[in-house]
Structures are given as C-alpha cells and as structure tokens.
Amino acid sequence: MHLSTAETEGTISAIVSRSPRRTMRRKRQTLVVLGVDPGTLVSGYGVVEQNGSIVRLLGCGTINNRSTKSMPLRLKKIYSELSTVITQFKPDEFAIESAFYGKNAQSALKLGHARGVSILAAVEHEIPTTEYSPREVKHAVVGNGAASKEQVQFMVKSMLGLADARMLHDTSDALAIAICHLHRLARPKTKLKDWKSYIAAHPERVKA
C-alpha cells in the first residue's frame, strides 16, 4: 500500500490505496462504506470495503482548513473534497458521527455546519446516510463506549492490518464510524417489544 500525506492548502491529506471499481461487476456481497468524522478545521474520512467476512481499507485521510479562512469557504471545501472522495470511491453507504451535545454551544454550532455539508454531499450522490453517536462507535469497535481515541485507533489499525501506518485521530475516528456501520448492518434486525428490551439491546444509547 502506498501511503501519502499532503498538508498544503487546497489538498486532501490522505492514506490511499487503489480505488474500487463500482460497476456492474461488483459482487453483491461487496459493500463500500464512507465514514466521516466532521469538523470545520479538520474533517476525517475513511472508506472501507467489506467482501464477505473480509474488511479492507480503500482510502482515508483528512480535509484541512485554515482557521483564518471564513466559515462559508471552509464549508465549501469540506463539501467539494468529500464530493471528490465520493466520486472516486463510489460508496454504497455513508456514516457520520452525530452531534455531541456535551460540547459548548459555539462548538456544537460549528460541528453542525460541518455535518450538514457532509451529509449534503452524500445525499446529492443518492447515498443512504446513517448517524452514530461517539459512544455507539466506541462500543462497536472497542467494546467500551467510554474508550479513548488511542484505544479506538489501535483497534481500527488492528482490524485493517495497518499497525505500522501513521494516522491522525480524525482519520481513525472516521474509519471507526465506517466499521461501526458495517457492524450495525450485519446485526439481525429484531422487533423490540418494550423499553426494557430496547435498553438491553442498546446500552450505549443510555446515559449513565
């Protein structure tokens, strides 16, 4: 795998392997998911492909904005570069981290802007979108909803065979979101008869 990083303005900092060919030749059991960890200064993205029981990395990286750039221009860049990623990898599904309400109002507002343009990029390409809370993602990848970013990154690298790869937490968080979505899709859907059953099935959604 070729690893490359680009930190200059107007480029995407990325770890990229070969792009998938989303044509009629793609086998039915193959699924490509784009995960996004949104942010107005740094947005992480990760694209994984599942073929049967095998999950592999297709591409990942960050979209970087300077703090001196106006908010509208930052949002335009996030939308434009995510659209480029979508065009390149042609994901079947899109997953993004939901708003984290523990942050202050200003941070939550900025995060909401980044989430909005990210989701718009997916919707305009007619890709089904799903949102996951940070706790849900950590629980799916690590088995602990209160896991640290370091623990999440370690598990992501282990799952994708990237032990020696350099990776920002924004990138590993995005890959974790994509992997979380794969786990949710693989889980059989069962109808829950009451609130107690829901809590038992989704402990990560209940605040202590």
Of the candidates 81, 97, 136, 173, the residue annotated as catalytic is 97
Of the candidates 37, 81, 92, 93, the residue annotated as catalytic is 37
170 is catalytic: yes
Q: Which residues contact 135 (CB under 8 A, 6 or more apart)?
A: 145, 146, 204, 205
37 is catalytic: yes
Closest CA to 141 of 128, 123, 154, 126: 154
7 is catalytic: no
Residue 142, classified by CB atoms within 10 Å of its CB into exposed (0-12), middle (13-18) or buried (19+), is middle
Are 55 and 182 a contacting pair, CB within 8 Å? Answer: yes
Of the candidates 49, 92, 170, 173, the residue annotated as catalytic is 170
Sheet holding 42-51, edge to edge: 12-16, 54-64, 42-51, 30-37, 93-97, 129-132
> What are the residue numbers of the active site?
37, 97, 170
